Amino acid sequence: MQSPIDVRDRELHDVAQFDIAEAYRSDLEGVLIPRPELEARVAELGAALTDEHRSNPDLYPVCVLKGAMRFFVDLLRELALEVPYSEGIVHSSRYQSGPATDIPDVQFFDEDRLAGKDVVLVEDILHEGNTLATLRDRVAEFDPNSVTIVTLFEVGVERDVDIDPAYSGFVLPDSFFVGYGLDYEERYRDLRHLGVLDRAIWDD
């Protein structure tokens, strides 16, 4: 598996270059990764997963809701396995009725299916790592054969938790990103590119 693509020093693309809804244009500082590049990278990750699990009926990809939904669907479209497999979902949130917490709330669906599986947690973005570390440890309680992590984005920051994705698409600078499933207050998930949200909107 090749290393993630490091885009921390990349200049932003002007929003005017893209077909972006007028309601979003003024909210963005720019576009960091256009949709075609996202699609190409997801295809590469899918090919790598196929190579590892081509004949593995115990593969069990799990989508981390909500942010990873678009990535999860696109990634699984790229799999070309020789055997049938099943898939699952998990909901995790660090935002309850107050500020973010270090320990996220986790809700599994069909957790009885995890035993003996090669579980692949599919996440949109890895930042501090608390959410994925908690998910990994919770999955391990259900006696899977293995637990690995696939994330499309990881932010290049120092982390207090030990978390190392087996597959990673891009290394991002530390900023506020929206699009391709990433949101701010449940907006911008439908943006087809990875954009940088104007600081004036989120840094109140």
How large a percentage of the chain has pLDDT more than 90?
71
Residues 31-48, mean pLDDT to the nearest whole number:
97
Residue 98 is predicted with a pLDDT of 40
Residue 141 is predicted with a pLDDT of 92
Model confidence at 101: pLDDT above 90: no
Cα–Cα distance measured from residue 151 to residue 132, given in angstroms and rounded to the nearest whole number: 10
Residues 164-173, mean pLDDT to the nearest whole number:
94
Residue 99 is predicted with a pLDDT of 44
Cα–Cα distance measured from residue 98 to residue 100, given in angstroms and rounded to the nearest whole number: 7
Q: In this structure, are strands 177-178 and 59-65 parallel, antiparallel, or unpaired?
A: unpaired
Residue 2 is predicted with a pLDDT of 66
CA distance to 48, 57, 103, 152, 153, per residue, from 79 (Å): 9, 13, 32, 15, 19
Model confidence at 47: pLDDT above 70: yes
Please, what are the domains in the chain?
A: 5-202 (3.40.50.2020)
Residues 55-79, mean pLDDT to the nearest whole number:
95
Model confidence at 1: pLDDT above 80: no
Residue with tokens 């054969």: 145
Residue 96 is predicted with a pLDDT of 43
Is 156 within 8 Å of 125 (Cβ atoms)? no
